[in-house]
Amino acid sequence: MMNVLFELALMSSQPLALHGGGAGLTTLEARAVARAGALAAGGQRISPATQTTRSGSIAIIPIHGMITQRSGLLSALGLATGCDQIRQALTTAIADRSISGIMLDIDSPGGCIYGIQELADEIFKARSAKPIYAIANSLAASAAYWIGAQCSELYCTPSGQVGSIGVYIEHSDISQALAINGQKVSIISAGRFKAEGNPYIPLDATARAAIQGNVDQYYSTFTKAVARGRGVPVARVRDGMGQGRCMQAKDAALSSMTDGIATLDQVITQMQRPGASTSRTVATVQHSGLARNDRLRLELSGAKPVSHDSKRLALELAGER
């Protein structure tokens, strides 16, 4: 149990690309403690995290729960996925000649920044070797979206959400709480900024500026990676993809955050068809008018600017009109 709490405490002190703010970590802590307790009470051993599965020649790699740099007890409990797990599964699938394509099955609010940039770069590079698709099934937020956006194509289930493009660092000021309890903490340090941002004193302007600068640098890396993966300008990522909010499936498709709306089975079926490509032309939304779908897909994928007519078509195809 202490290992679980330690992992969560360590994560809370790191830069996060996580949807839901601190509430996300609080919820994860409650679930982790409850699950570990239930397993212990039942005399059960903690099982390994979910492994890669296959559908024909398609490898399906699950990315579920919080994303951490390294797998640990949280991933063993099924509440997190480590970047190291994803990397190993991806490497194995790329090397396997019997696998024609890879699907990242994502259901994650994001997680810690550490390890995400490196993994995202590897996925973007690997998509030149084999088609790598991803689906928000049904949440790909923050760090999870960062990863998904690097794939050849990215889809979202009809009820799903993607986005939460942003970074934050939490700071807790517990000085008043300590004072009420008659406690005072003294920190003995060397190095001008070594104890900067500690929770025992209010956050001063200098420390806040330093932390903000750190966040801004990570945010810049995040948005540039999304722009590269989705083939859009950085300004569009910053100003037109939710600005830190998650977006529902239809709005996400219209904003070029995804390549369309589909279920996991629908996308895998498309991937298994002869001649399936990675040019963002896989079926996106279901409709009998194939020609209209083709035109909409091309417009939404960036072949030409999204017009007002294409937005109207998207609403029609998604059942709004």
Residue 143: name the closest of 69, 36, 193 by CA. 69
Q: What percent of the residues of the chain are helix, what percent strand, and what percent coil, each to the nearest 5?
A: 45, 15, 40
Task: For the chain, list the domains and their CATH numbers.
Answer: 2-168+231-284 (3.90.226.10), 175-216 (no CATH), 289-321 (no CATH)
Taking residues 15-23, what's their average pLDDT?
A: 71
Which one has a higher pLDDT value, 292 or 245?
245
Q: What is the pLDDT of residues 48-99, one digit of tens each?
A: 555 789 998 999 999 999 999 988 888 788 888 999 999 999 999 999 999 9
Separation in Å, CA 320 to CA 154, 177, 252, 300: 22, 52, 15, 17
DSSP string, 130-167: S-EEEEEEEEEETHHHHHHTTSSEEEE-TT-EEE----
Euclidean distance between the first and final Cα of the chain, in Å? 52
- 32-41, 74-83, 168-177, 182-191: the lowest-pLDDT one: 32-41
The mean per-residue pLDDT over the stretch 260-278 comes to: 85
Output the CA–CA distances (angstroms, integers) from residue 204 to 171, 188, 193, in the order listed: 11, 18, 12
Q: Which of 280, 299, 177 is nearest to 230 (CA)?
A: 280
Give the separation between CA 201 and CA 12, rounded to whole angstroms. Answer: 18
Q: Global pTM?
A: 0.78
Query: What six digits make up the tokens of 152?
Result: 């050849």
- Asked if pLDDT for residue 290 goes beyond 80, the answer is no
Q: Could you read off the pLDDT of 203-258 as tens digits, one per residue? A: 999 999 999 999 999 999 999 999 999 999 999 999 999 999 999 999 999 999 99
